[in-house]
Chains A and B, each alone.
Chain A
Amino acid sequence: MAHRAASASSSAPRQRSLRELRPGESALICCLQDAEMALKLLEMGCVPGQRIRMRSRAPLGGPVTVVVGDEEYTLSLRQEEAATILLK
């Protein structure tokens, strides 16, 4: 399992982040970009390799809801927080 939790990858080719998923779309988590936020996200189960699905978006750039894994629990997070989760 790739562990690049604390790496701020500016040199890497642009990678899709969770923020860009359309509702209903799902992908695997590759890595977490923001070191401090990564700790919180890891605790909440957003581990690299985990499947994550975009569920809905609040209007006007509000928070999004995502479903983590197949355990079917829903997290809500702000767009800028979702942007720190990069996808495979």
Chain B
Amino acid sequence: MEQVAVNQSLSQSLTQAQIPSRRLSRIALVGNPNSGKSSLFNALTGLNQRVGNFPGVTVDKKTGRCRLTPQHEAEVIDLPGTYSLHPKSPDERVIIDLLYDRRGEYYPDFLVVTADAANLRRNLLLFTQLADLRIPAVLVLTMTDVAEARGIRVDTDALSAALGVPVVPLNVRRGIGLTALKIVVGQNPTPRAEGPFFEIPDDLLVLVRQIRYYFDLKNDYLALLYAHHWRHLTHLSDDDRAHLRELTEKYHFRPTEQQAAETIARYERLNDILLDTVRVERAERGESASNRLDRVLTHRVWGYVIFAAVLLLLFQAVFSVAQVPMEWIDTGVARLNAAIQARAPAGPLTSLLTDGVLAGLGGVLIFIPQIALLFFFIAILEESGYMARVTFLMDRVMRPFGMSGKSVVPLISGAACAVPAVMAARTIESWKDRMITIFVTPLISCSARLPVFTILVALVVPDRAVVGLFNLRGLALMGLYGLGFAGALLSGLLLRLVLRARGGRSYFIMEFPTYQWPRWENVALTIWQKVRAFVFEAGRIIVAISVILWVLATYGPGDRQEYAEARYRQWATEVRTGVIKAPPPTDAEVEAAVAALRLENSYAGVFGHAIEPVIKPLGYDWKIGIALLTSFAAREVFVGTMSTIYSVGQDAADDPLTIQQKLAEAKDDTGGPFFTPARAFSLLVFYVFAMQCMSTIAVVRRETNSWLWALGQLLWMSGMAYVAAFVTYQVLR
């Protein structure tokens, strides 16, 4: 049947192809969550897609180009998955903005509606609503293989006749139906000619008609939706909305009851249609494979054991496998740096390029392997359907902390980088749950904290096995991650109390998608999008801050730097000529000492000295003050700054052992070692809690659309870091 339809369309499109004009249509993809919409979008647009934002809301706006015929291109927009035209979450309101405003920027020429063939009745509910809006549409049946396996036979022709629109069965995995879909869409589908699926009752018609004529709307159903959602119709003026409010009050419009009655009426209509078009030939079979899997994966004991094992495996893989490409990037950037320094004339410009721009770029690139790997695993877990089960398992665990099962993905992502993690919180419908998740996610130790942890732990924790099995350093590291996680939970707990009175109801009603093998194209696209988001969102800021910090660390007020350098050089000369009795320094030592002195007398150094009184109770001196400042670009800059301050020469700067040795040799006022366990642990605790990341502040500000949240979070985390570090130092010293 499908074949015939395709052939017919082919011949038609061939005659159309002779028209030389090029056309661009706007197509919107609409469908239930888990109805294969994203797979279809990826199959249609491939890498020709962009992820942007809808104005005003933080919902991914995915658009892409697709060539239907040589002359006909389509701009495809992927709308968020929804169960009806009555949005329940702010994110779903994008649908209102798009489909209710005929003159809107994104109003589609055609709709492609996806419906899960194994679950047609519920999926078609949305379709009947869209059809009543009289936007030309094509219905795509997805998951046809799953339906077939369950013995569900859909008579496509009969369904197409009953619904009054073209119906295309699709199997993206096997590439079946894509060409047919392109051809059908290329022929300009017309709105269905038959009457609406839902007949508006007479007692509502008075109201509906008044709205329809007032706003000059094309059909009654849109007018009815105006009556439902006038509060959110941003394309209308305040007066128009006031008018709608008056009308709905005048006619005692009861939205909840109307909507419930309408939904039930639509289901009844669909029952009739499906009776004639869908046959279920199911012999008594055992449980589906998906259900059998769920018996284990969502088991009240084994479910958690398996999830813990998955997490362990995931982090093991992320941290061990990512090491290799990270080394490559590290040495690559270092070599490039050395090559530029060797060839370019020494001077401020070269220094800006190498120590400012290149250092910043390196700081961005180094995290890509971990982020890519983590999202590789997360994408697989999401694609396979397992993540929905994790959400189910973890919901009860997360609720006392003001979060829901859906907070798990952002929290796991936070172990790589808070920037994509905060953006991953978009899938959480409840405002309160989402805000709390965003607020606590940066407390999960991200990969930028790891280099700082490693070096300080190595400094004060002996490399020794305990209980024969565990390494003491490894345990300390794990403890730090645990501390961050505990901080996140504690913050969630408190914030939940603060927000007790705020926010609407949170729903958890969620569908379990059928387990399926991940589609690798989708996984690859997810990784690509996350890495891109990191590079553009975080990377830009990291490079910019890196340049600013370079200025602060290179230049100083007045001639302080020159004066300090001249005095030291004079001293060195006098030592060498024997005027002063002291072991003469080598050339390299002189240069390293000069660099340290210049830094001490730079703006950054002045800042370090200025905040010394504030950080003294934590056990820090001005040198650490400088490192705290420079950490604002990205925390791992701490290591580089410390090596400059402690005059580790250029050649040895990349060797962690040398830095560690220098730090170990550092002396305090009394001549004892400066980095005592108390100081090191105080610093570690500080880095666990402190929000030293400009990129995260920026992304939180954008995602919450408020400076209050971003700055509140900065204050809270800094405060927590200060207090915790203070307590650590005072107790241990």
Contacts and interface: CB of A to CB of B under 8 A. Distances in A.
Contacts of A74: 291, 294, 511-512
A42 B121 contact: no
Given A47-B267, A59-B300, A63-B395, A5 B83 contact: no
Interface residues of B, number: 41
B509 A77 contact: yes
B121 A40 contact: no
Interface of B: 83-84, 86, 88, 118-119, 121-122, 125, 150, 256-257, 259-261, 263-264, 267-268, 280, 288, 291, 294-295, 298, 300, 388, 391-393, 395-397, 405, 505, 507-512
Interface in A54-72: 55-63, 65, 68-72
A74 B261 CA distance: 24
Given A42-B260, A73-B512, A56 B294 contact: yes
A77 B263 CA distance: 20
Nearest to A7: B257
Given A39-B263, A62-B395, A1 B268 contact: yes
Contacts of B88: 39-40
Interface residues of A, number: 40
A30 interface: no
B260 A5 contact: yes
Interface in A1-49: 1, 3, 5-6, 32, 35-45, 47-48
A54 to B, nearest CB: 13
Contacts of A75: 509-512
A48 B265 CA distance: 12
Contacts of B259: 39
A39 B509 contact: no
A63 B125 contact: no
Contacts of A38: 256, 260
A26 B644 CA distance: 70
Given A1-B268, A72-B150, A73-B512, A39 B119 contact: no
Greatest chain B CB density within 10 A among A70, A71, A81 is at A71
Contacts of A59: 300, 396
A5 B395 contact: no
A74 to B, nearest CB: 4
A78 B122 contact: no
A58 B507 contact: no
B125 A81 contact: no
A81 B511 contact: no
B298 A65 contact: yes
Nearest to B84: A43
A58 B395 contact: yes
Contacts of A72: 118, 150, 288, 291
A43 B512 contact: no
B505 to A, nearest CB: 7
Question: Which 7 pairs of residues, A with B, have the shortest CB-CB distance?
Answer: A62-B396, A74-B512, A5-B260, A43-B83, A45-B122, A42-B263, A59-B300
